[in-house]
Every structure is written in C-alpha cells, then in structure tokens.
C-alpha cells in the first residue's frame, strides 16, 4: 500500500474551504472543496472520491491547483469572504 499524501493547508485556507463546502450554492462547487478538506485530513484519494462521489482522477488533480481554483470561484458565486 502506498503512503497517503496529506495535504498541508494553512488555517485561513482551511476555513475558506470549510465555508465554501457548507455555504456554497452549487453542488459542483461544494464537492471539490470537501475533497480537498478530506485529503488534508489524511484520507486516501480513493476514500475521498467515494465520499464525494468524484472520480479518482478528479480527486488526484494537483491539490494546490484545485484549492486555488475553488477559492477563486467564490467570487463567481457571490460567496467572497
């Protein structure tokens, strides 16, 4: 079994992702936020994909790119912090 890569998130980014997951309007915005949070909690990509119903490829996407992409999308949905 491979070693699970745990994503390191600064506290402010974690809060923004949690807020996006809890208050984000569209489902397609909330689930990637949750996937990043699950990976930061130490879950494997397979387990994070099962919980978010996302493909393994989507979960394994570069986490920094995904995190930044969804934090920036907050402005599009009117949920800017």
User: Residue 12 contacts by C-beta under 8 Å, 6 or more apart in sequence?
Assistant: none
Token code pair at residue 9: 């998130």
- How far, in whole angstroms, is CA 61 from its chain's centroid? 10
Q: Where are the beta strands (DSSP E) in 1-81?
A: none
Name the nearest CA neighbour of 25 among 66, 75, 79.
79
Domain limits, the chain = 13-75
**What would the pLDDT profile of 21-75 be if each residue is shown by its tens digit?**
898 778 888 888 888 888 888 888 888 889 888 887 777 765 555 566 666 565 5
């Amino acid at each position: 079994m491979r070693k699970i890569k745990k994503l390191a998130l600064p506290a402010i980014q974690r809060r923004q992702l949690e807020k996006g997951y809890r208050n984000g309007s569209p489902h397609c915005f909330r689930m990637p936020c949750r996937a990043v949070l699950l990976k930061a909690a130490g879950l494997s990509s397979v387990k994070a994909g099962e919980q978010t119903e996302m493909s393994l490829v989507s979960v394994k996407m570069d986490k920094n790119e995904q995190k930044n992409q969804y934090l920036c999308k907050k402005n599009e949905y009117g949920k800017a912090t």
